[in-house]
Amino acid sequence: MANDGDTGNPDEDNARPSMWGGRFSQPTAEFVARFTASVDVDRRLYHHDIQGSIAHANALEAAGVLSADDRDAIVRGLVAIRTEIERGEFRWDPALEDVHMNIEARLTELVGEAGKRLHTGRSRNDQVATDVRLWLRDRLDEVEQRLTDLMARLVDLASEHTETVMPGLTHLQTAQPVTFAHHLMAWFEMACRDRERFRDCRRRVNVSPLGSAALAGTTFPIDRHAVAAELGFDAASANSLDVVSDRDFAIEFCAAASLAAVHLSRWCEELVLWTSPQWGFVTLPDAYCTGSSIMPQKKNPDVAELIRGKSGRLIGNLNALLVLMKGQPLAYNRDNQEDKPPLFDSADALCDCLEAMSGIVAAIEPDPKAMRAAAEVGFAVATDFADYLVRRGVPFRDAHEIVGRAVALAVERGISLAEIPFDDLARLSDRIGEDVYDAITLDGAVAARDHFGGTAPAAVRAAIETARHRL
């Protein structure tokens, strides 16, 4: 099999540029070298590649496979390479295919023989799986922090608006009044579940492949559990074939990221509606909007629209990884090199979207007057009217019918339910008393839903209190 050069045999590594020259009588075709190279993408893994290599060198030394001097030379070389890379002084060579072989080749240039011993008992198959897991673990920690930050900002904004009444919608039509805080706390709940999904994903990401080598394990007595512990992994993987091949952990991340992106997209859809002059519920900070090159009055919610748009990329990336995986027999196949562009892109896009959303939530300016005015139209209190009748003994279905007729009357006259004179209401049902007007105010309607999970200011204040502890 061409290019399957990772046998764990230390003698296979010839001098630059080819790592598998021994078996081959022809050099790699130029096109094939370009087609198979991944260094432009996977060089992002350099930090974690070096981290993994240092742990592997330590394990080889502990197993008596490497001398302490060789191990020290390797570690010194790897640290020097990290500095070169971070200073932009490292020469990435596409002829060396990927990040792993670029770093290893440079290591050998820097420390000689010892560098050639590093790949003992290891393959790029367990190496790349390790790198990606370490990399993703860091990104997951970043996502956790960004999500928590966003959740904190939602709670802060909500705590200022427990009395702000807005129309609650179903089918985008006026349904029942809700508090703005309750709406924001709905977003908070979605974010909280997203964070749980990422935390859960992290548990399965945080497993060490090292020691699995190409597919079957290694003949060297590496303490796999010690390597795992050194790298902060919770465990060593239980099956070498599985861990070098499956990318389900990356797929899980992309799935959780897609869901989070879908949530952000929904919120942004609402922001786009709310910021239009027809709604005017909120104003976005100028710093988060852009203007139009032709229409001087425009202040467009582009950032919100882009967040909504990015969800498409994230869903696409998830799909790409699922399809990438589905046809693969055990164990490692080169298909898996294609896992990185979608994975990296999803992590980048998600982090950007979270940052953008936090910025928006921190600086958003709600207009409680506009929200209340919007809640006044569309008969948002009709259910409260019906509930009033039920409390006076009318079966709900009959109450529904009576209020329906009241709404028709109000529509005909172009007034609200509360503006219908009492005599007209009394004609609809003898159960209606003058106190009905108290039951059908916006504030009365929200205050009446005072239970766990409800929209009443008191209930939402309690939810906010609990939410602060969940941060």
Chosen residue from 102, 120, 258, 336 binding ligand ARG by CB under 6 A: 336
* String marking each residue 15-54 x if it binds ligand ARG according to CB under 6 A: -----------------------x---x------------
Burial class (CB within 10 angstroms; exposed 0-12, middle 13-18, buried 19+) of 268: buried
Residue 122 near ligand ARG by CB under 6 A: no
Candidate segments 150-158, 173-181, 328-336, 355-363, binder of ligand ARG by CB under 6 A: 328-336
Number of residues that bind ligand ARG (CB under 6 A): 13
* String marking each residue 275-314 x if it binds ligand ARG according to CB under 6 A: ----------------------------------------
Distances in Å between the Cα of 106 and the Cα atoms of 90, 124, 177, 382, 436 are 9, 16, 66, 75, 83
One-character DSSP codes across 389-441 = HHHTT--HHHHHHHHHHHHHHHHHHT--GGGS-HHHHHHH-TT--TTHHHHTS
Candidate segments 3-11, 86-94, 219-227, 287-295, binder of ligand ARG by CB under 6 A: 3-11
SS3 category, 1: coil
Residue 58 near ligand ARG by CB under 6 A: no
Q: Smallest distance, Å, CB 244 to ligand ARG? A: 9
Burial class (CB within 10 angstroms; exposed 0-12, middle 13-18, buried 19+) of 187: buried
Cβ-based nearer residue to ligand ARG, 7 or 416: 7
For 377, the token pair is 């139209």
Burial class (CB within 10 angstroms; exposed 0-12, middle 13-18, buried 19+) of 186: middle
The dihedral formed by the CA atoms of 265, 271, 276 and 281, expressed in degrees to the nearest 10: 160
Candidate segments 79-87, 140-148, 334-342, 453-461, binder of ligand ARG by CB under 6 A: 334-342
Residue 429 annotated as catalytic: no
Q: CA angle, 218 as apex, 217 and 223 as ends, to 5°?
A: 95
Q: Smallest distance, Å, CB 9 to ligand ARG? A: 13
Find the DSSP H helices in 209-339. 224-230, 240-245, 248-275, 302-326
Residue 245 annotated as catalytic: no
Residue 12 near ligand ARG by CB under 6 A: no
Chosen residue from 203, 334, 369, 405 binding ligand ARG by CB under 6 A: 334
**Footprint of ligand ARG on residues 223-252 (CB under 6 A)?**
none
How far does CA 296 lie from the centroid of its chain? 36
Cβ-based nearer residue to ligand ARG, 99 or 260: 99
CA distance 308 to 266: 7
Cβ-based nearer residue to ligand ARG, 1 or 172: 1
Chosen residue from 13, 49, 70, 98 binding ligand ARG by CB under 6 A: 98
CA distance 22 to 194: 50
Q: Smallest distance, Å, CB 32 to ligand ARG? A: 13
Q: Smallest distance, Å, CB 119 to ligand ARG? A: 12
The DSSP letter of residue 23 is G
Q: What are 366's strand-pairing partners? A: 282
Q: Smallest distance, Å, CB 6 to ligand ARG? A: 5
Candidate segments 18-26, 124-132, 138-146, 425-433, binder of ligand ARG by CB under 6 A: 124-132
Contact status, residue 371 vs residue 165, Cβ threshold 8 Å: yes
Chosen residue from 108, 120, 125, 174 binding ligand ARG by CB under 6 A: 125
Q: What are 176's strand-pairing partners? A: 168
Cβ-based nearer residue to ligand ARG, 332 or 379: 332
Distances in Å between the Cα of 382 and the Cα atoms of 279, 336, 410, 433, 458 are 22, 58, 11, 16, 22
Residue 358 near ligand ARG by CB under 6 A: no
Distances in Å between the Cα of 77 and the Cα atoms of 3, 63, 205, 231 are 27, 21, 28, 19
Residue 3 near ligand ARG by CB under 6 A: yes
Cβ-based nearer residue to ligand ARG, 96 or 282: 96
**Footprint of ligand ARG on residues 61-80 (CB under 6 A)?**
none
Residue 93 near ligand ARG by CB under 6 A: no
Candidate segments 120-128, 245-253, 320-328, 406-414, binder of ligand ARG by CB under 6 A: 120-128
Catalytic residue (one of 25, 171, 293, 469): 171
Q: Which long-range contacts (CB under 8 A, 24 or more apart) does 285-293 make?
A: 285/359, 285/360, 285/363, 285/364, 285/365, 287/359, 287/363, 288/356, 288/359, 288/360, 288/363
Cβ-based nearer residue to ligand ARG, 219 or 290: 219
- Maximum C-alpha span of the chain: 102
- Catalytic residue numbers read 171, 292
* Interface residues toward ligand ARG, by CB under 6 A: 3-4, 6, 38, 42, 98, 124-125, 128, 332, 334, 336-337
